[in-house]
A and B are shown apart, each in its own frame.
Chain A
Amino acid sequence: MHVEQISIFIENKFGRLAEVTRILGDAGVNIRTLSLADTSDFGILRLIVNDTEKARTVLKERGFTVSKTEVVAVEIPDRPGGLADILQVLDADGINVEYMYAFVERCGENAVMIFRFDETQKAIATLTGKSFNVLPGERLYSM
C-alpha cells in the first residue's frame, strides 16, 4: 500500500531546482507532487512522479544523488480537524511522523497527505485499522 517517492540532494545554488525539473520534463516524467526541505547549504527535493524508475535513472545519469523512499498517502476528510484526527490516531499508537506534505490534488471530497513514518508498515496497519483510506501508489502516479 506504500507509495514510492524519490529524494534528490540539491545544493542551494541558483538554477539547480530548475535543472532537475527540466531533466524530468525532457524525459517525459510527470511530477505528481513534491516537497522541498531546505537548510542554508542544501535542500532535499522529494517527488512523487508517474515513473519513479525513469526519474531515478535520468537524474543519476546527470550526476545527482537520488534515493528511493517508501511513503504513505492517506485520504483525509477536507474539514477542520481532519488532519488532527489522523495525527491523534498515529500518536496513540506511538508512530512518529518523520515529515509530511500535502498532495496537490483532492480525491473526491477528501484532501491527500503524504507521510514519511519511521515504521511504514505499522503506520499503514494503524491507519487502515481506523478506517482511514490509504491510497496505493498506482492511484497517485496516474491521478
Chain B
Amino acid sequence: MFFNEEFETLPREALEALQLKRLKAMVARVEKSVPFYKEALAKAGVTSDSIKSLADLQRLPFTYKQDMRDSYPYNLFAVPMEDIVRIHASSGTTGKPTVVGYTKKDIETWSELMARCFMAAGVHKGDIIHNSYGYGLFTGGLGAHYGAERLGASVIPMSGGNTKKQIMIMQDFGSTVLTCTPSYSLFMAEAAKEEGIDFRDLKLRVGIFGAEPWSEEMRRDIEGKLNLSAVDIYGLSEIMGPGVAIECCEAKKGLHVWEDHFIPEIINPETCEVLPEGQMGELVITTITKEGIPLIRYRTRDITSITYEPCVCGRTHARIARMSGRSDDMLIIRGVNVFPSQIEAILMGVEGVEPHYVLIVERKDNLDTLEVQVEVGENLFSDEIKHLQALSAKIEKQIKEMLGVTCRVRLVEPKSITRSEGKAKRVIDNRNKA
C-alpha cells in the first residue's frame, strides 16, 4: 500500500532525472541565499550550471555538524525568518544545539514523507496511532504527529514518560499503532506485565521504532512481547526528522530512503571516496527539496550500506541497512545523543576529578544503562562515605541536567582505568555483544 504511489514507484530512470533537476535547483538556491554555501561551492569550483549529471554530486563539498554549530542559530537558513514556520533543534556537544528551520512547504513535505512511512509500515486511515516520541525541540513527536494527521489516522499525542498512563491509554483508547524508541516499547511491555497487563491482549498491530540503533534480535523480542509488526524508521533533525527512511512491512529488509527528496551516498569516512553498492560506510545525505535549511552532502556519521535492488514491496527507492554504528564517538543512549566529550566537560568541572574516566554502556532489561567510572585521586578522596556518595550523586545530577541522560557514577581506584598510548578508549559499549 502506497501513500503516493506515483512517486514511491517511480522508475529509477525517472527518479534519477527528477533528482538531477531538483539538485540543480537546490544548488542554485543556496548559491544565492546562503553565504556559507556560496563560499564553499566557489572553493570547490562548482556552480549549479556546471552540474550535468548525478555523478557531479561528488564534486560538491561536504557539510558537517560543526558547520551547523558554527552557523548557530540561523546562518544556514536559506529563506528569511518570516518564511520559517517551525524551528526544531538537536543536542550539540558544546551545549549549543543544532538549529533547523522549516517553511510551510517543508512541513508539508515532512508530513507526506511520514505518511508514506506509516503506509509502508502497514498503517492506514482508521488506525489509532499512539505517539510516544517526545514532543518539543526534538523532531520525533511532532514529525510522527503531522504524518499521522496527513495520513488521516487518529493520533494520540502522548509524548514520552508517565508509563502507567501510557499503558492505560493504550488499553482504554484501543491504540493500534505504537511509535516510540524500541527500548521504550520493551520498557512499557515490562511495566505492563508488572501491572498484570499482557501487551498481547491490547489492539496494537504495528510498531514504528527509531531514534536509536537496535538489532534483529530486539525486533523478535519486541514482536513477541508486544504482539505487533515492528519496523525500523530512520531520520535526523539536520535532514528533516523521523521519516527520512523506513522499512516496508512486506520485506523488513533495509530502509527505503525517499529518494525524490534526499540523495543518499555511502562514503569511506576516512578517505571520503564514494563506495559502491553493498559496502559499509558513512551515510551522506543531500536534501534536494528542502527550503528552510537545504544541506549539501551532510555527513550523518551513521554507518550503513545501500542497495538499489528492487524490493518486493514495489517501491523503487534505494534501501539502507540498519545503522551499525557511528563514524564518530557519539553514543545514542535511550534515544539521546551523547558525546563522551560532553561528559568529560562535566567531570572536569568538578573540583578534584582526574581526567581519567570511562563510559560503560549496557542494555539491561531492554533499557540502555550508562555507567560513568571516575578515578578517585587524593584530591577527591574523603574518609567519609557520605562525602564520596554526595560526590557521585552530584555528578549524576549534573549529567542528567545537562544531557538528559540518567547514569550511575562509579568511583574506582586510581590507575584502574586502562591507559592508552594513543587515543584514549573512553567508551565500552556492550550493547551489541549479546
Contact = CB atoms under 8 A, between A and B. Distances in A.
A36 to B, nearest CB: 11
Contacts of B253: none
B381 A9 contact: yes
Interface string A94-126: 000011000000000000000010000000000
Interface string A42-55: 10101000000000
B412 interface: yes
Contacts of A7: 381, 383
Interface in B379-396: 380-385, 388-389
Contacts of A66: 378
A9 B385 contact: no
B377 A65 contact: yes
Contacts of B411: 9, 41-42
Interface stretch (B60-68, B98-106, B340-348, B413-421): B413-421
A69 B383 contact: yes
Contacts of B376: 9, 42, 65
Choose among A7, A41, A64, A98 the residue with the greatest number of B CB atoms under 10 Å from its CB. Answer: A41
B205 interface: no
A39 B413 contact: no
B410 interface: yes
Q: How large is the interface on B (under 10, 10 to 19, 20 to 34, 35 or more residues)?
A: 10 to 19
Contacts of B389: 39
B413 A46 contact: no
B409 to A, nearest CB: 9
Contacts of A116: 383-384
Given A9-B376, A65-B414, A98 B381 contact: no
A69 B411 CA distance: 21
A11 B413 contact: yes
Nearest to A43: B385
Contacts of A44: 383-385, 388
Nearest to B408: A41
A1 interface: no
A88 B384 CA distance: 23
A10 interface: yes
A42 B388 contact: yes
Interface in A56-73: 63-67, 69
A66 B384 CA distance: 13
A143 interface: no
A67 B385 contact: no
B410 A37 contact: no
Contacts, number: 49
Q: For the complex, would chain B's binding face be called helix, strand, loop or mixed by DSSP majority? A: loop
B413 A10 contact: yes
A65 B412 CA distance: 10
Interface string A1-20: 00001010111000000000
Nearest to A63: B415
Contacts of A37: 385
Choose among B378, B380, B410, B413 the residue with the greatest number of A CB atoms under 10 Å from its CB. Answer: B413
A80 B413 CA distance: 41
B413 A64 contact: yes
A66 B382 CA distance: 9
Interface string A62-95: 0111110100000000000000000000000000
B384 A99 contact: yes
A67 B382 CA distance: 8
Contacts of A41: 410-412
Contacts of B382: 67
Interface string B28-64: 0000000000000000000000000000000000000
B384 A63 contact: no
Contacts of A69: 383
B46 to A, nearest CB: 56
A98 B384 contact: yes
A67 B381 contact: yes
A99 to B, nearest CB: 7
Contacts of A67: 378, 381-383
A102 B355 CA distance: 38
A63 B376 CA distance: 11
A57 B185 CA distance: 54
A5 B383 CA distance: 10
Contacts of B377: 65
B317 to A, nearest CB: 50
A116 B377 CA distance: 22
A26 to B, nearest CB: 19
Interface in B318-333: none
A117 to B, nearest CB: 12
B381 A11 contact: no
B383 A11 contact: no
B242 to A, nearest CB: 38
Given A44-B388, A67-B378, 19 more contacts: A5-B383, A7-B383, A9-B411, A9-B413, A11-B412, A11-B416, A37-B385, A39-B388, A41-B412, A42-B376, A42-B411, A63-B415, A64-B413, A65-B377, A65-B380, A65-B413, A67-B383, A69-B383, A99-B384
The 3 A-B residue pairs with the shortest CB-CB distance, nearest first, are A7-B383, A65-B381, A69-B383
8 contacts: A10-B413, A39-B385, A41-B410, A44-B385, A63-B415, A65-B376, A65-B378, A98-B384
